[in-house]
């Protein structure tokens, strides 16, 4: 039997309430999208489809997964725009899905995996408690701070380092094109992980000696990356603690370092760099800058991530200038890049 009649047209107020409810529901179910993306990255859906696998059956054979649930995952990926369904359960990759391939420029595969791994995922679950208490609840979530957690979980730490290196790729060409390294002998990448930024600078500047200064369990990855790049003769990697001291240099790179820490800790890092800087020393700070309140701003959302998982926070330019002035540095230039991040150049005073 057919329905009795057409639905009544909603009033303007009812239509607005529906739109608002749909928008908030999208916010509430954001973790569905995040976990679908993580599962796609974990099963290497994008890589398999790019290599010619068009069906769930083919991918299931490669990944030892269930064909039916693999199909359901691929169907969800198509709904998100990562795949296109071509009919008869066959799929192809989209430009959006390409970003989940491993090793492509700007790849976010490791980001999809590490952001949903225990270090971040479990800590985010305690965000309300972090807001109430005034600081992260990582110890409660993980039994250790995030960096100790990484040291105990090398696979997750490796994903995080790769993710950070991939993020560097988004700003590296802008940094290379803008930086003037005339007269610079040694560049130290403070907390530089695999050293993606300093290694690219070394490629562009054959007279520059590069060094990564990071935690002892990280630096071997930097040595390996330098060897693969054929730059070992001009490169060193040193393990240490930048809260104690940093190596001497003409130029310091601080990429996504200061946002990990509270103001007092940032002042310690910057003072140590200033103390070790050679005459005429300079530094490059790469960070996301918070913009005008109320406008869509990825940096503001990232600030919530910092609250959930670290001691740090995102800052606006005035807040950074206060840190620099208190530690013997002066900002000489600032450039927005084509990514989320800005380049802030400093000189020692």
Q: Which of 72, 76, 75, 71 is nearest to 59 (CA)?
A: 71
Cα angle 81, 82, 83 (rounded to 5 degrees) comes to 90
120 catalytic per annotation: no
Burial of residue 87, with CB atoms counted within 10 A of its CB: 0-12 exposed, 13-18 middle, 19 or more buried: exposed
Go through 295-305 and write b for each residue having 16 or more CB atoms within 10 A of its CB, e for each that does not.
eebebeebbeb
Q: Which of 48, 120, 149, 259 is catalytic?
A: 259
Q: Are strands 209-214 and 186-190 parallel, antiparallel or unpaired?
A: parallel
Structure-token match 């109320």, residue found: 294
Contacts of 303 (CB under 8 A, 6+ apart): 290, 313, 314
* Beta strands per DSSP E along 10-121: 83-87, 90-93
Q: How far is CA 254 from CA 29, 85, 166, 190, 266, in A?
A: 35, 43, 16, 6, 11
For residue 345, give the 3-state DSSP assignment. strand
- Residues designated catalytic: 259
């Amino acid at each position: 039997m057919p329905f009795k009649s057409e639905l009544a047209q909603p009033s303007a107020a009812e239509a607005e309430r529906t739109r608002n409810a749909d928008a908030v529901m999208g916010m509430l179910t954001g973790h569905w999208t995040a976990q679908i993306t993580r599962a796609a990255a974990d099963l290497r859906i994008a890589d398999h489809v790019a290599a010619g696998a068009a069906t769930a059956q083919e991918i299931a054979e490669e990944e030892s997964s269930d064909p039916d649930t693999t199909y359901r995952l691929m169907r969800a990926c198509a709904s998100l725009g990562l795949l296109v369904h071509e009919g008869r359960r066959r799929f192809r990759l989209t430009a959006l899905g390409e970003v989940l391939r491993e090793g492509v420029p700007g790849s976010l595969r490791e980001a999809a995996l590490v952001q949903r791994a225990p270090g971040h995922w479990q800590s985010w679950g305690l965000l309300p408690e972090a807001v109430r208490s005034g600081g992260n609840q990582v110890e409660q979530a993980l039994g250790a701070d995030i960096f100790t957690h990484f040291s105990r979980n090398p696979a997750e730490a490796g994903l995080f380092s790769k993710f950070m290196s991939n993020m560097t790729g988004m700003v590296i060409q802008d940094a290379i094109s803008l930086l003037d390294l005339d007269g610079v002998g040694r560049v130290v990448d403070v907390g530089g992980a695999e050293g993606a930024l300093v290694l690219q600078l070394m490629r562009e500047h054959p007279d520059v000696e590069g060094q990564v200064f990071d935690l002892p369990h990280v630096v071997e990855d930097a040595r390996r990356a330098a060897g693969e790049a054929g730059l070992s003769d001009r490169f060193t990697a040193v393990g240490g603690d930048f809260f104690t001291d940093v190596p001497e240099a003409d130029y310091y790179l601080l990429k996504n370092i200061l946002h990990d820490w509270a103001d007092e800790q940032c002042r310690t890092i910057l003072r140590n760099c200033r103390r070790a800087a050679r005459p005429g020393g300079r530094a490059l700070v790469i960070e996301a800058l918070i913009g005008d309140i109320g406008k869509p701003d990825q940096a503001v959302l990232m600030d919530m991530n910092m609250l959930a998982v670290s001691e740090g926070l995102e800052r606006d330019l005035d807040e950074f200038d206060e840190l620099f002035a208190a530690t013997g540095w002066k900002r000489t230039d600032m450039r927005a890049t084509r990514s989320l991040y800005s380049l802030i150049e400093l000189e020692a005073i």
